[in-house]
Amino acid sequence: MPAVTVEFTENLAIITIDNPPINATSHAVRSRLVDALADIGQNSAVNAIILSCHGKTFIAGADIGEFNQPARDPLLPDVILALEALPIPIIAALHGTVLGGGLEVALGCHYRIASATTRLGFPEVNLGLIPGAGGTVRAPRLIGAENAISLIANGKPISAATALDWGLIDEITPADNDLLAAAIAFANRVSSLPCPPALATATATVTSHRPANIDWESLIAQTAQRARGAVAPVIAVKTVRENLGLPADQALAHERQQFVALRDGEQSRALRHIFMAEKNVAKLPVTRDITPTDLATIGIIGGGLMGAGIATACLLAGYDVVMIERDEAALASGHENVSRHLQSSLKRGIISPSRFDQLLAKLTGSTDYATLAPTGLVIEAVFEDFAVKKDVFASIAATVGSDTIIASNTSYLDINALACSVSSPERVIGLHFFSPAHIMKLLEVVCTDGANPQTLATALSFARKLGKIAVPTGVCDGFIGNRIMSAYRKQCEYMIEDGAYPEQIDAAMTDFGFPMGLFAMQDMAGLEISWKTRQRQAATRDPAERYVALGDYLCEQGRFGRKTGRGWFIYDDAKSPPRPDPDVTRLIEQESARKGIKRRPFDQTEIINAIISAMQREGDKILQEGIAQTADAIDVVMINGYGFPRFRGGPMFMKRNQASSA
Ligand code: 3HC
Ligand code: NAI
């Protein structure tokens, strides 16, 4: 099937793009579009053109794969100029996700009609780019600079209703209507009218071409602050601003120049890497031909922090949930936790009041494991204690069918050993959610040694339905993420004994792009949990390994972090930022002296290099042991679970880059 076809019916030409999966503007589409326009030009009977797409979406953007190759004519900006210059009206019929280059093509058409569920946007900044085919020129001229900037610099799509409100589209047709029929009716209405002027050059359509009320300097400053080191959003705002003052041809050339510079830069390469890594990370050869088991009801054991979050995620994804707790009081509290999460989804407009009631009605609770009978998957999220989890696994296995998958949300315990404690260990798996479980996108799917492909395929499909990025990992202490975090925490602790200070390390990390430094993060989580873990591990710790006891000393003084007003830092009140504490400085210096360490200065570059190298060394070990399938999987975990700055591509991407530029 050619990527672009043209059908002539009466006085209309209907162009259909068919380039699955997302109708990207790949080279074949661009060149066939140019041919199609030439064919139409030969047909003098045509008085209107419809541009539509086959499949689940209108064009959702340029083909990201082509960005790594030399550009091939015709380029998208030229194709759009050709569309715009047509002397007969061209109507874009929009459905699905009209994104990036797709929206730019639509803006090159004279009219836009959209199905009601369509979403439209410029997600280029998420790939470290700005629109490169006229988006920064045509969008402000059509919908005003402010709306255009919010689309282009935030990268978030808008609904068809908002697009109509802003004037980005001309008409909405109900979702269950035939979009093509609606576009034909629209075309018949406008075919006898004079063709509207091209958007890029027209001034008549400009609603606020040169808005006087934008405070550009503060807008740029705010954008830079939100972007935390990512350059594209700031360049997006600046480019829109500069383009407002330029004639169309110069504005288009200026945009292209900015686009190409970003496309060839480090940040966009990193962001494209992570975009594709996220798409590919859950593709396991062993599950390729397996049809996942359909799941309708999920059992959750434990309604605490994690259990309630997991239950909420399952409800929001459309599953029925059975929650089991130790006693009625704990069950009531678990129910309350879920209700609170759903209420916050309601407040944020994610669900409607009637949906809230429906979802809560799909949650049932009990202290009796017999109620788990209808479940296809049971996830335990009880205390992090092997004996407790083993008992819970035995109770689950005694009730459910032998093909019900049993999953553990353990952070560190040996799931292989848990699997061996039940019959049919091939249905046991780890599902390591991140807190808050109904919000965080990452889910480590821990593949036990015995888990069979059916279990893996079903777990991965379940994760997809929850909207999670599932990263398969092997069994080890801390899986991928917590294991790397542990190596990085140790590296930070060594540096403070050797001469750095917590505030210096945290500042280096936030400058690098992390939302928070390690020590502020520990203070936020509470220091006592890891203190208790260290106490438990004391007897088995390798005496030859360097041990930093500073965190223990803080806990011995009752400094458990933010909730006690003191930890590594001082907190003046619940919301105040961390403030360095001279007592902690003294404690650190005394400890260095006690260990005979001569403290030395560290600069930001050394701190960051040491942290990234520690992550990379641990990442290499994880790969050698087969815990992660690929280096990309490690990047996906660190970015989606631990705040590693996305625009840097992840520690393993940085390692590859360092090696290739050495
Ligand atoms: N280029 C190439 N492949 C793409 C792609 C793109 N822009 N976007 C998605 N794909 C691929 C995915 O890798 C995936 O491949 P697979 O089937 O082999 O795994 C397939 O399309 C389906 O993608 P999803 O699994 O993400 O499908 P969804 O239905 O969940 O989402 C989507 C569809 C909303 C379009 C989502 O894929 C998306 O957001 N894509 C990125 C869109 C984007 O960033 N567009 C702008 C590109 S830059 C641009 O246009 C520059 C211009 O200004 C010149
Ligand atoms: P929590 O203490 O908030 O909740 C545990 C719940 O389990 C409590 O409500 C308790 O009543 C219930 N419970 C205990 N024994 C039970 C039993 N025998 N039967 C039924 N219910 C029982 O703990 P949290 O933080 O939710 O952690 C749960 C698990 O999730 C742990 O394994 C933890 O390591 C893991 N985890 C925790 C994360 C976090 O950020 N807190 C992140 C990822 C995993």
- Residue 192: the pLDDT is 87
- Our answer on whether the CB atom of 105 is closer than 6 Å to any ligand 1 atom is no
For residues 35-63, one letter each, b for 16 or more C-beta atoms within 10 angstroms of the residue's C-beta and e for the rest, the string is: ebbeebeeeeebbbbbbbbeeebbbbbbb
Distance between CA atoms of 227 and 153, rounded to whole angstroms?
A: 10
Please confirm whether the linkage preceding 472 is cis (ω < 30° from 0).
no
Nearest protein CA to atom 19 of ligand 1, as residue:
279
- Our answer on whether the CB atom of 121 is closer than 6 Å to any ligand 1 atom is no
- Our answer on whether the CB atom of 100 is closer than 6 Å to any ligand 1 atom is yes
- Residue 490 CA to ligand 1 center (angstroms) comes to 38
Give CA 214 to chain center in angstroms.
30
- Residue 195: the pLDDT is 82
Given the CA of residue 283, which atom of ligand 1 is nearest to it? Answer: 19
pLDDT tens-digit readout, 328-358 = 999 999 999 999 999 999 999 999 999 999 9
- CA angle (46, 47, 53) in 5-degree steps: 75
Q: Which of 120, 279, 469 to mutate to test the pocket of ligand 1 (most atoms within 8 A of CB)?
A: 279
- Our answer on whether the CB atom of 127 is closer than 6 Å to any ligand 1 atom is yes
> Within 13 Å, how many C-alpha atoms sit on residue 114's CB side?
29
Nearest protein CA to atom 35 of ligand 2, as residue:
410
Given the CA of residue 525, which atom of ligand 2 is nearest to it? Answer: 40
Distance between CA atoms of 500 and 602, rounded to whole angstroms?
A: 6
- Our answer on whether the CB atom of 383 is closer than 6 Å to any ligand 2 atom is yes
pLDDT tens-digit readout, 501-521 = 999 999 999 999 999 999 999
Closest-approaching ligand to the CA atom of 469: 1
- Our answer on whether the CB atom of 533 is closer than 6 Å to any ligand 2 atom is no
Distance between CA atoms of 505 and 503, rounded to whole angstroms?
A: 6
Closest-approaching ligand to the CA atom of 105: 1
Q: Could you give the C-alpha distances from 585 to 309, 567, 598, in angstroms and in order? A: 38, 12, 15
Nearest protein CA to atom 25 of ligand 1, as residue:
279
Give CA 349 to chain center in angstroms.
19
The CA dihedral of 388, 392, 394, 396, to the nearest 10 degrees, is -170
pLDDT band at 532 (very low <50, low <70, confident <90, very high): confident
H or E stretch at 494: helix 481-498
pLDDT tens-digit readout, 161-211 = 999 999 999 999 999 999 999 999 999 999 988 887 777 665 434 444 556
The separation between the first and the last C-alpha atoms of the chain, rounded to the nearest angstrom, is 45
Q: Could you give the C-alpha distances from 603 to 183, 500, 507, 512, 587, in angstroms and in order? A: 62, 8, 11, 13, 21
pLDDT tens-digit readout, 255-280 = 999 999 999 999 999 999 999 999 99
The CA dihedral of 540, 545, 546, 547, to the nearest 10 degrees, is -10
Contact 649, 635 (CB under 8 A): yes
Asked if pLDDT for residue 662 goes beyond 90, the answer is: no
pLDDT band at 534 (very low <50, low <70, confident <90, very high): confident
Asked if pLDDT for residue 212 goes beyond 70, the answer is: no
H or E stretch at 42: none
Given the CA of residue 334, which atom of ligand 2 is nearest to it? Answer: 9
Closest-approaching ligand to the CA atom of 76: 1
Q: Could you give the C-alpha distances from 242 to 253, 273, 556, in angstroms and in order? A: 12, 30, 58
- Residue 463 CA to ligand 2 center (angstroms) comes to 20
- Residue 201: the pLDDT is 60
- Residue 162: the pLDDT is 98
- Residue 207 CA to ligand 1 center (angstroms) comes to 31
Nearest protein CA to atom 29 of ligand 2, as residue:
381
Q: Give me the phi and psi of 396, to 5 degrees please.
A: -65, -50
- Our answer on whether the CB atom of 303 is closer than 6 Å to any ligand 2 atom is yes
Closest-approaching ligand to the CA atom of 328: 2
pTM of the model: 0.94
Nearest protein CA to atom 31 of ligand 2, as residue:
384
- Residue 44: the pLDDT is 86
Distance between CA atoms of 177 and 171, rounded to whole angstroms?
A: 13
Pairing state of beta strands 297-301 and 171-173?
unpaired
Give the residue among 82, 102, 94 at the shortest CA–CA distance from 41: 82
- Our answer on whether the CB atom of 365 is closer than 6 Å to any ligand 2 atom is no
Q: Could you give the C-alpha distances from 133 to 168, 198, 260, in angstroms and in order? A: 16, 14, 11
- Residue 524 CA to ligand 2 center (angstroms) comes to 19
Given the CA of residue 63, which atom of ligand 1 is nearest to it? Answer: 1
Across the strands, what pairs with 428?
A: 406
- Residue 558 CA to ligand 2 center (angstroms) comes to 24
Could you tell me which residue, 379 or 249, shows the higher pLDDT?
Answer: 379
- Residue 609: the pLDDT is 97
- Residue 197: the pLDDT is 74
Over the chain, what is the mean pLDDT?
94
Closest-approaching ligand to the CA atom of 389: 2
Q: Is 499 left (phi over 0), alpha (psi -120 to 50) or beta?
A: left
- Residue 275 CA to ligand 1 center (angstroms) comes to 9
pLDDT tens-digit readout, 390-447 = 999 999 999 999 999 999 999 989 999 999 999 999 999 999 999 999 999 999 999 9
- Our answer on whether the CB atom of 440 is closer than 6 Å to any ligand 2 atom is no
Task: Tell me the average pLDDT across 274-289.
Answer: 95
- Our answer on whether the CB atom of 304 is closer than 6 Å to any ligand 2 atom is yes
- Our answer on whether the CB atom of 301 is closer than 6 Å to any ligand 2 atom is yes
Could you tell me which residue, 661 or 612, shows the higher pLDDT?
Answer: 612
Q: Where in 222-344 does DSSP place strands (E)?
A: 297-301, 320-324
- Our answer on whether the CB atom of 396 is closer than 6 Å to any ligand 1 atom is no
Closest-approaching ligand to the CA atom of 68: 1
Asked if pLDDT for residue 28 goes beyond 90, the answer is: yes
Closest-approaching ligand to the CA atom of 382: 2
Given the CA of residue 330, which atom of ligand 2 is nearest to it? Answer: 11
Q: Which of 17, 19, 22 to mutate to test the pocket of ligand 1 (most atoms within 8 A of CB)?
A: 22
Distance between CA atoms of 611 and 598, rounded to whole angstroms?
A: 21
Given the CA of residue 135, which atom of ligand 1 is nearest to it? Answer: 53
- Our answer on whether the CB atom of 509 is closer than 6 Å to any ligand 2 atom is no
- Residue 295 CA to ligand 1 center (angstroms) comes to 27
Closest-approaching ligand to the CA atom of 275: 1
- Residue 433 CA to ligand 2 center (angstroms) comes to 12
pLDDT band at 315 (very low <50, low <70, confident <90, very high): very high
- Our answer on whether the CB atom of 254 is closer than 6 Å to any ligand 2 atom is no
Tokens of 536: 């438990």
- Residue 203: the pLDDT is 47
- Our answer on whether the CB atom of 157 is closer than 6 Å to any ligand 1 atom is no
- Our answer on whether the CB atom of 384 is closer than 6 Å to any ligand 2 atom is yes
- Residue 512: the pLDDT is 96
Given the CA of residue 65, which atom of ligand 1 is nearest to it? Answer: 2
Closest-approaching ligand to the CA atom of 391: 2
The CA dihedral of 551, 556, 562, 567, to the nearest 10 degrees, is -50
- Our answer on whether the CB atom of 381 is closer than 6 Å to any ligand 2 atom is yes
ipTM entry: 0.96
SS3 category, 325: coil
